[in-house]
């Protein structure tokens, strides 16, 4: 989790209902329009608050956007709490991870779109404001999981843990993007066909076969 707070103290003092309205409207606008095309006046209007009130909660459009990104990370962390890496073999854990990634992307598609927008070079000045804790938490989970599996003999003795963790992270990210972006959805259909692309279980089973062959 990031230690940076992107909202002002005044935001903590309003009702939870009002906070939810601001979050819901802002998330939807940023996800639909992208950061650059989003108008903060539109967010204020749809949230039924004045632009002055919105700026009393957030210093800038940048801070509002980053606060939404952090909200998404909080929800992802909550979802990953169900991973339980200490339970089962490494491949059972990885399969759970893929199911969690799919479920998160289906339930929180807008957050995945915000993350996709944030990952572009044009918004690097924003992503740099998020502390490394946001991403390194996942790095440590993957590396620890694979290192433990290597020590127990569940994966190849010569497995490059760092590269395997990087490979695993890219699978998770691409799964989420494939549900959040029409471009990435079309790429899945291009490679797998319409029927396969719509079948979550088939996709996960196919990915698990590749992971097992690569890691074993």
pLDDT at 197: 73
Quick one: average pLDDT of 175-182?
86
Mean per-residue pLDDT, 36-47: 97
- Helix ranges (H only) for 34-153 are 40-46, 51-57, 61-80, 90-107, 109-118, 124-127, 133-151
Q: Round to the nearest angstrom and report the end-to-end CA distance of the chain.
A: 32
**Could you tell me the two tokens for 188?**
């899945």
Residue 1 has what pLDDT? 45
Please state the rounded mean pLDDT for residues 168-179.
90
Q: Residue 144 and residue 165: Cα distance in Å, rounded?
A: 9
Domain 68-215 class, CATH top level = mainly alpha
Write b or e for each residue in 185-194: b if 16 or more Cβ atoms lie within 10 A of its Cβ, otherwise e.
eeebeeeeee
Confidence of residue 134 (pLDDT cuts 50, 70, 90): low
Question: Distance between CA 84 and CA 101 in Å, rounded?
Answer: 14
* Mean pLDDT value of segment 52-75: 94
């Amino acid at each position: 989790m990031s230690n940076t707070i992107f909202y002002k103290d005044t935001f903590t003092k309003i009702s939870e209902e009002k906070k939810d309205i601001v979050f819901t409207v802002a998330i939807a606008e940023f996800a639909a329009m992208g950061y650059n095309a989003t108008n903060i006046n539109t967010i204020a209007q749809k949230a039924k608050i004045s632009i002055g009130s919105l700026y009393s909660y957030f210093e800038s459009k940048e801070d509002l956007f980053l606060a939404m990104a952090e909200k998404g990370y909080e929800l992802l962390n909550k979802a990953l709490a169900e991973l339980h890496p200490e339970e089962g073999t490494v491949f059972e854990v990885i399969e759970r991870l893929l199911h969690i990634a799919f479920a998160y992307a289906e339930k929180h598609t807008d957050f995945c779109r915000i993350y996709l927008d944030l990952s572009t070079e044009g918004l690097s000045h924003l992503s740099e404001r998020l502390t490394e804790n946001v991403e390194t938490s996942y790095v440590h989970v993957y590396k620890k999981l694979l290192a433990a599996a290597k020590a127990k003999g569940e994966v190849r003795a010569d497995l490059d843990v760092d590269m395997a963790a990087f490979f695993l992270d890219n699978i998770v990210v691409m799964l989420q993007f494939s549900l959040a972006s029409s471009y990435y959805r079309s790429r899945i259909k291009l490679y797998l066909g319409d029927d396969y692309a719509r079948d979550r279980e088939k996709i996960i089973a196919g990915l698990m076969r590749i992971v097992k062959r690569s890691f074993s």
